[in-house]
């Protein structure tokens, strides 16, 4: 998969605990060009058969797989397993952007921004798969260091960059810096996908048209409105219930029975309109996916 091949230039951002298979398929239905299986541990793949077996990728979703970790040797083994057993994976992504303590504690995620040589070594291992490789990253406090990191990833073989326009310290606060994303695009030789604060499809298209990025990625705004990719909004509680029914149907069709994950996703659909709080409370009490269906009646 290449960025140039994306008809709408719109990607669904990987968000741990939210963007599992049914939700990715729902966003794909409504116009997301592609998505990423979020935060897959390269180390866990090498050590746990059950962990690897729980990775779900469907042919029709056009998904890549995002790896995190801090040991290049683990990436080599993980990539071999992925290419042998998961033929529907379209590309691989190295997570260098997640600021969550559960990711950074072992030196992975956004901590890799300060270790470009280590990140480059992992990109090189991933390239052995024969698949295209992206690096999802954040800005460093100084543009000079950000560009050094980007160029190191390019030299290591990365095919494109996915840049969240915030620093590790910012987390998800403040505003995404799209001017910095544009500078990265202008000063590197590979495509750049911009990420951060896109709350409607028109804004993402505007950034692409004006040369800020080659494509864009939508994250949190898609959680409450998976139809954002086709420019539609959720119009009230009955509309949200319809979305939830679609999501639950995808859970059943794909044998996805993780009720806690389903509840987490379902509660996001009910926000911003009368009756939302009551629906979130009802869904939160569900003990099974069947219980959630009952609440929809």
Dist. CA 74–CA 94, nearest whole Å: 13
In degrees, to the nearest 5, what angle opens at C-alpha 149 toward C-alphas 146 and 151? 110
Q: How many CB atoms lie within 10 A of CB 269?
A: 24
CB 137 within 8 A of CB 97: yes
Q: Which of 98, 150, 230, 251 is catalytic?
A: 98
Q: Which residue in 27, 25, 69, 65 sits closest to 47, CA to CA?
A: 69
Residue 72 in tokens:
């290049």
Residue 94 is inside which H or E element, if any? strand 91-96
Dist. CA 50–CA 288, nearest whole Å: 22
Q: Is the dihedral of CA 66, 69, 71, 74 positive or negative?
A: negative
Tell me, what DSSP letter sits at residue 139? E
Tokens 């048209």, residue located: 209
CB 21 within 8 A of CB 58: yes
Dist. CA 8–CA 17, nearest whole Å: 26
Residue 257 in tokens:
């029975």
Tokens 């539609």, residue located: 232
Coil, helix or strand at residue 206: helix
Active site residue 230: no
Residues labelled as active-site residues: 98
């Amino acid at each position: 998969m290449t960025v140039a091949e994306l008809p709408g230039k719109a990607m669904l951002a990987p968000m741990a605990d939210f963007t599992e298979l049914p939700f990715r398929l729902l966003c794909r239905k409504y116009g997301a060009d592609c998505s990423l299986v979020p935060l897959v541990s390269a180390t866990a793949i090498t050590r746990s058969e059950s962990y690897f077996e729980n990775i779900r990728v469907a042919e029709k979703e056009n998904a890549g797989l995002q790896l995190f970790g801090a040991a290049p040797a683990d990436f080599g083994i993980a990539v071999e397993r992925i290419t042998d057993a998961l033929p529907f994976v379209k590309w691989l992504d190295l997570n260098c952007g997640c600021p969550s303590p559960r990711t950074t504690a072992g030196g992975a995620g956004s901590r890799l921004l300060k270790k470009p040589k280590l990140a480059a070594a992992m990109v090189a291992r991933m390239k052995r798969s024969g698949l295209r490789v992206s690096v999802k990253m954040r800005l460093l406090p100084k543009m000079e260091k950000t560009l050094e990191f980007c160029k190191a990833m390019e030299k290591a073989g990365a095919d494109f960059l996915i840049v969240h326009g915030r620093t590790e310290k910012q987390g998800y606060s403040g505003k995404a810096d799209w001017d910095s994303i544009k500078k990265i695009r202008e000063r590197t030789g590979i495509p750049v996908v911009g990420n951060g604060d896109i709350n409607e499809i028109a804004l993402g298209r505007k950034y692409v048209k004006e040369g800020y990025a080659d494509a864009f990625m939508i994250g949190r705004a898609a959680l409450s409105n998976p139809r954002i990719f086709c420019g539609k909004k959720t119009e009230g509680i009955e509309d949200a219930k319809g979305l939830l029914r679609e999501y639950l149907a995808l859970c059943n069709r794909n044998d996805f029975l993780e009720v806690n994950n389903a509840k987490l996703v379902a509660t996001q659909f009910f926000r911003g309109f009368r009756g939302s709080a009551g629906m979130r409370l009802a869904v939160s009490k569900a003990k099974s996916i069947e219980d959630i269906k009952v609440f929809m009646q």
